[in-house]
Chains A and B, each alone.
Chain A
Amino acid sequence: MPVGPALLDTDTLSEISRGNPIVRSHAHAYLIEFGRFTISAITVFERLRGYRSAIAAGRPFQRQLQAFEGLVQGCVVLPVDEMAADVAATIWSGSARKARQALGDMLIASVALARQLPLVTRNRRDFEAFAKVSGARLSLIDWTKPASRKS
């Protein structure tokens, strides 16, 4: 359990939504401790565009969209502010073309780095690379692994 609030990446929120039991166990313990999830506006954008594109294509997902909007209302949503944009520009300009493809993750990493928040993700490799390019330290937490037992 982090000592303070942590930023959840999009994949982590997806795993919670899918009902991954290990991730949900971590998430439940986190909510008891901190009350709300902290996510970035990028995650909100990624999910909302998915629902709205599907609905525009005739899929009946209004109920799921409403649930997601309710979920977001209960979260702390961090914007991509000036500091995060600055960090993102550093990462983007220092990254290879392939790494630049993961634009959403890059922006999420930038929000976490700008605010010095730990990031909850299963994608350690990519986020470590972003942090290395930024020159700042990023603490990573993986909720897909069971919590370690205290002896």
Chain B
Amino acid sequence: MARSALAHDTTVARTIRFPAGLRDRIAADADRCGRSFEGQVLALLRHHYGEDVDISPAPVEILALANASLADIPAADSRAILRKLRESDR
């Protein structure tokens, strides 16, 4: 079926020129999320406008959360928080 026949009244085609660097980042994210390039662009826009879309956070955001999860915790408390499950804990 021709692509144009699949489109319906609410779909509008637009041509967007992406800077090469941004295009590569979106392509990498799309690959990671299992989406097409176009699907990833739409997912990002939907996410931006408040829809519940699964977007992988950026690596720096994930690492910042990891860092914040132990920030300003004294060493003794940190050791207690990071204590692993032992059989004797039962």
A binds B: yes
Evaluate whether A37 and B77 lie within 8 angstroms (CB atoms) in the complex, with A50-B82, A103-B85 already known. no
Query: Which chain A residues numbered 40 to 78 have a C-beta less than 8 Å away from chain B?
Result: 42, 45-47, 50-51, 53-54, 59, 61, 63-65, 67-68, 70-71, 74
For residues 69 through 90 of chain B, which have their beta carbon under 8 Å from a beta carbon of chain A? 69-73, 77, 80-89
B81 and A28 contact, CB distance less than 8 A: no
CB of B56 within 8 Å of the partner chain: yes
Q: How far is the CA of A42 from the CA of B57 in the complex (A)?
A: 23
B2-37 vs A: 1/0 string, CB under 8 Å?
A: 000000000000000000000000001100110000
User: Pick the contact of A46 from B61, B67, B83 — CB < 8 Å?
Assistant: B83
Let me know if B1 is at the binding interface, CB within 8 A. no
CB–CB B65/A71 < 8 A: yes
B56 to chain A, nearest CB (A): 4
Q: Is the CB of B69 within 8 A of A68?
A: yes
Return the contact of B85 from the options A33, A65, A107 (Cβ within 8 A): A107
Which A residues are in CB contact (< 8 Å) with B62? 31, 36-37, 71, 74
The reply on B63 being an interface residue by CB < 8 A is: yes
Report yes or no: B82 in contact with A102, Cβ–Cβ below 8 A: no
How far, in Å, is A47 (CB) from chain B's closest CB? 7
Smallest CB–CB gap between B35 and chain A, Å? 12
Interface residues, chain A, with chain B CB atoms under 8 Å away: 10-11, 13-14, 16-19, 24, 27-28, 31-37, 42, 45-47, 50-51, 53-54, 59, 61, 63-65, 67-68, 70-71, 74, 100-105, 107
List residues of chain B with CB under 8 Å of any chain A CB.
Answer: 28-29, 32-33, 56-57, 59-63, 65-73, 77, 80-89
A/B interface sample: 23 pairs, CB < 8 A: A10-B82, A16-B66, A17-B67, A17-B69, A18-B70, A24-B63, A27-B59, A27-B66, A31-B62, A32-B59, A34-B32, A37-B62, A45-B85, A50-B80, A50-B83, A64-B69, A64-B70, A74-B57, A74-B62, A100-B87, A102-B84, A103-B89, A104-B84
